[in-house]
Structure 1
Amino acid sequence: MHEVLLVLHNLLRWFVLAFGLWALLRPESRPGAFFAHTLTLQVVLGVVLAFASPLVQGALLALDEVMRAGGEPRYFVAEHWVGGLIALGLAHAGLSQARKGGRWARLLFALALLLVLLSIPWFRPLLRL
């Protein structure tokens, strides 16, 4: 199950990036909704994946040691999901602005997309099948 979730989480990343770029170029309701809702699905998959992941579960058992040591376990326990959650909030705030015709939608989508890009583990394979 862990591998299936990992493949889905990995593939959905590309949709999130594509919809994020679309929302950035056209900060309107429809592109913003695709971006925000795809990112929501990505975060939900990530939370489920964290509960199924032996890496995260093992790191949580030795949290103090993992936080001091750094590296890949620390990245997934502390940084990866925090960036995703903040990006999710920004994307939904951008969607709200886009629906109201607000002028902040593009900035919020840009910040969300930037955080998504910073939160992607680029040191891992770009495509898992």
Structure 2
Amino acid sequence: MATLYLILLTLHNLTRWLVLIAGVWALLVSVRGIGGARPFTPADRRPVALFAGSVHLQVVLGLLLFGLLGATAGRAFSDAPRASFQWEHLGLMLVAAVFATLASALSRRAASNQAGFRVAALWSGLALVVILVGIPWWRPLLRLFS
């Protein structure tokens, strides 16, 4: 069980960087498109979809970790401050996943090109803010099987 936990924790940590890079990329592409009269092309949608997909992958890995922690002798809930953060982290990341999904889905269905860029920028930006607030920055920034 400890080996599975370590593998999932490492994947969760590495995926964090994919989420952050994809989120910044999606936000930059979306904000850049707001000012001009450019069409909202599939190339502009890709970073937003990658961001949403990477957030969903991260949530799945996180839920597996959360379930595994709860299943291993109550380690996840042994001390109150840590347990409190885990619930906050879980809630914030689920909200971020909803925001990233809204960025992808609503920008695809937008009535105009500018509306697509605005919706993608708004929801991607909100998702990124929630993610940045919910990341445990006091933990190792790069954890490789340790």
TM-score bracket, normalised by the shorter chain, equals 0.7 to 0.9
Question: CA offsets, 1:6-49, max 9 Å, x none?
Answer: 00000000000000000100123110000000100000010011
Q: Is structure 2 residue 9 aligned with structure 1 residue 21?
A: no
TM-score, length-scaled by structure 2: 0.76
Q: Provide the C-alpha distance between the structure 2 equivalents of 1:83 and 1:94, rounded to a whole number of angstroms.
A: 16
Residue in structure 1 matching 2:82, options 64, 72, 75? 72
Runs of 5+ unmatched residues, structure 1: none
Residue in structure 2 matching 1:99, options 96, 105, 108? 108
Q: Provide the C-alpha distance between the structure 2 equivalents of 1:60 and 1:46, rounded to a whole number of angstroms.
A: 13
Bigger Rg, structure 1 or 2: 2
Question: CA offsets, 1:106-129, max 9 Å, x none?
Answer: 011000001111111111111111
CA RMSD after TM alignment: 2.1
Aligned to 1:30: 46
8 Å CA contact 2:26–2:48 kept in 1: the answer is yes
8 Å CA contact 1:91–1:112 kept in 2: the answer is yes
TM-score, length-scaled by structure 1: 0.85
- Overall identity of the aligned pairs, in %: 43
8 Å CA contact 1:15–1:38 kept in 2: the answer is yes
